[in-house]
Amino acid sequence: MRSVSLFSRRGGLLIAGAIAVAGYAGACSGSDDGAASLTGCPDDLAYFEANIWEPILSKKCAVCHSSDGLAKGSRMVLAPSSEPGALQANFETVKAVAAIIEDGESTLLLKPSARHPGGHTGGELVAFQSVEWKTLETFVSRVTQGKNCDAEGVACTKVTPGARMLRRLSRHEYDATIKDLFGFDSKWGASFTADTVVNGFDNNAAALKVTPLLADQARRASEEIAELAMQSPGALIPCDPATGDAACAEKFIDSFGKRAFRRPLDDADRKRYLDLYAAVAAEAGFAEAIKTVISAFLQSPYFLYRLELGGLPGEGGMVSLTPHEIASELSYFFWGSMPDQELFDAADAGTLSTPEAIEKQARRLLADPRSDAVLERFTEQWLEIDRLASAPKDAAVFPELDANLRSAMSEETKRFISHVVREGSGTLPELFTAKYTFASPELAEFYGLTPSGAPGTVSMLDLAGTPRAGLLTQGSLLTTHARPNASSPIHRGKVVRERLLCQNLPPPPPGLNVQPPPVDPSKSTRERYIAHATVEPCQSCHKLIDPIGFAFEHFDGIGRYREAEGAHAIDATGEIVATNNTNGAFDGTGELSEALAESPDVHACFALQWFRFAYGVEENASLSCAVDELSGELAASGLKIEDLLVALTRSPHFTRRMSDGSEAGASGGTGSGGAGGSGGAGGSPDPGTGG
């Protein structure tokens, strides 16, 4: 499949949309110094229109870089498309900016890649050396040097995998793995220091390190888990602990070690744990020695980390992941936990070597109810509703919102997601437009619906004839994204802009008062926020979020529907701007949800969010084509969510990696010490000295 750059004629969805945000925030700017004499190619104007103006500037920078915009004093002031001769004039303007050289490089390349010496308000919008960046580079070389005149746009001709890496178990994965390994519930992971969140997700490999604090927490947890496991060893120990011997210990170390490390032990592993057993057993006996061995296993980097290192590099530095690494990728992606016996057997037999075999396992895991936990976890972090239980609310304003109602809202979203994927159409648009939901009698009554079922149960309810539809009108999202005492167009517009359109907003300027407009009974929320957004430093970003957030004004700060806000009639009209394919006006959440459901921008963003979540990475230069391809697969599937998840297992990144030149990542490895080593996210693990 040939995938085209996000900046090419067919692209421009995510990165281009991100530049739209920068445009509104005044992030596209240049200097008047350093302009060079310009040459060019005969078809530069056509190239500019197709690859630069259409997907980027007209939708992304033109609002601020206009004669009356925030960037009206910059070198790049663009004419509106409706103005006669605008295309030629804008081409000349941008060509002049491309010729500005600072530190040996064009300003047009430095700014969006966040490498400009003066900084960049919008941060990194285009990864340095990525396909998107190279599209801009091609434009610069054409208009300033007359080079690359035959270029029609940079295309993704080959999808390559990312680098080898280690992925520390997240807190959720730790608890799920302990439960599957021992058979009892675990809350130890939940008590660990919070995992760092990157792009909304807490499983980013580069961010998940073992700090000294976490190492100590893991040590104490391992000791407590080992103690509990030996109270009822059951099937864990292949003999009676009261009469256990070295032969029994060896069997235990082989069987338990394989499951803990998610691969067979090598000779060095086996010797180290046998030596540890022998040393402790000589003084304290069999049971205490096994307890110590369990604790040591649970502190090992080979337990705490998922290895995605592969064997020795092949042609072009490509590394194939081992069958057991692929088995772990499958199980943690679809179940958030360690492989089951069928995956272990497949890895042992070497049958996870073909795309067909991997897809078969992927669909098996996805069909199992255990995958609900991952669907729920993704949704909670994608929409940032994992904060629902702790979202601060003023009890005097919202006395109805107790812990039970919050729990019912959370359960509504979980049941809804599972139903859409498994029993509904299974498509992304249904998440936004479904005219049904799942509610307890208490939540149904709160929504003004006819309750169904006994207290504490959850029933499917028809939403036909009501203002509710899909995720955007569920209490979990509306309650989380609101003020403690009121609704919030800012919070609700921001979650749409950042999580559904993948356009991250720059932080407010330092020293700016970011407090919301104070409650004023003489004005509606809309009136107060419109006045607030007219302040010059605030205006640019609030144009991107407030008009979206106004769609939600029929819902108060805890998701309750209202026809009026006190004495004020509600105006829920709004507009989406600065996107490639979603721009337009709407009235209320119904029309907003329909627009988002049909938007290629939202479809591409959804694919990107799953890419980040599944692989535990940020999209970068080496993976940008993989993101493009995944978005194409989602569109080709008819927007089927299950097919998107399976497509992630077909990407080269799922089974291969690019070598960094080191051979330390060969399968297996030696050493199995404690958690004290391995603080990084790439390369081979440091076995440490614990245990």
Dump pLDDT digits (tens) for 377-412. Answer: 999 999 999 999 999 999 999 999 999 999 999 999
pLDDT of residue 18: 46
A 10 A CB-CB count for 406 gives: 20
Q: Find out whether 642 and 352 touch, Cβ atoms under 8 Å.
A: no
The verdict on 132 and 178 lying in the same domain is no
User: Would you state the pLDDT for residue 667?
Assistant: 41
Q: Are strands 318-320 and 305-308 parallel, antiparallel or unpaired?
A: unpaired
Q: What is the pLDDT of residue 59?
A: 58
Last residue of a domain, one of 598, 617, 638: 598
Q: What is the pLDDT of residue 533?
A: 79
Domain range holding 551? Answer: 380-598
The token pair at 411 is: 């359960």
What are the 10-residue block averages of pLDDT along the chain, 691 residues in total? 34 45 43 49 86 69 68 81 87 89 89 81 72 81 88 70 94 98 98 96 95 97 98 91 94 98 98 98 97 98 97 89 98 99 98 96 98 98 98 98 98 98 98 98 97 93 98 99 97 97 80 80 93 74 92 98 96 92 96 98 96 92 82 97 98 91 47 37 36 37
Given CA atoms 420, 426, 428, 429 in this order, what sign does their dihedral have?
negative
- Same structural domain for residues 249 and 207? yes
629 lies in some domain: no
Does any domain span residue 200? yes
What sign does the dihedral 483-488-494-496 (CA atoms) show? positive
d(CA 517, CA 526): 10
First to last CA, the chain: 49
Regarding whether 191 and 101 lie in a shared domain, the answer is: no
How far apart are the C-alpha atoms of 650 and 542, rounded to whole Å? 40
Residues 592 and 449 both lie in one domain: yes
Residue 38 has a pLDDT of 57
Domain stop point among 134, 156, 178: 156
Q: Which two tokens mark 659?
A: 């070598």
Residue 665, in any domain of the structure: no
Do the bridges between strand 155-156 and strand 568-569 make them parallel or antiparallel, or are there none, so unpaired?
unpaired
In a domain, 633, yes or no: no
Separation between Cα atoms, residue 669 and residue 166, nearest integer Å: 13
Domain boundary among 598, 628, 658: 598
Percentage of the chain lying above the pLDDT 90 cut: 64
Phi, psi of 264 (to 5 degrees): -65, 145
Q: Which positions ≥6 away from 426 have C-beta within 8 Å?
A: 420, 640, 641, 642
- Domain check: are 131 and 244 in the same one? no
Instruction: Please check whether residue 657 lies inside any domain of the structure.
Output: no
Q: Position 523: which residue type?
A: K
**Are 332 and 455 contained in the same domain?**
no
Tell whether 107 and 188 lie within a shared domain.
Answer: no
Q: Are residues 397 and 257 in the same domain?
A: no
Whole-number Å distance between alpha carbons of 471 and 84: 44
Burial 95-112 (b: 16+ CB within 10 A, else e): bbbbbbbbeeebbbbbbb
Q: Are residues 177 and 202 in the same domain?
A: yes
Do 225 and 359 share a structural domain?
Answer: yes
In a domain, 683, yes or no: no
Query: Is residue 498 one of the residues assigned to a domain?
Result: yes
Residue 144 lies inside a defined structural domain of this protein: yes
The confidence score (pLDDT) of residue 673 equals 41
Does 552 lie in the same domain as 408?
A: yes
For the chain, what is the domain count? 3
Same domain, 435 and 542: yes
Phi, psi for 561 (deg, rounded to 5): -75, 145
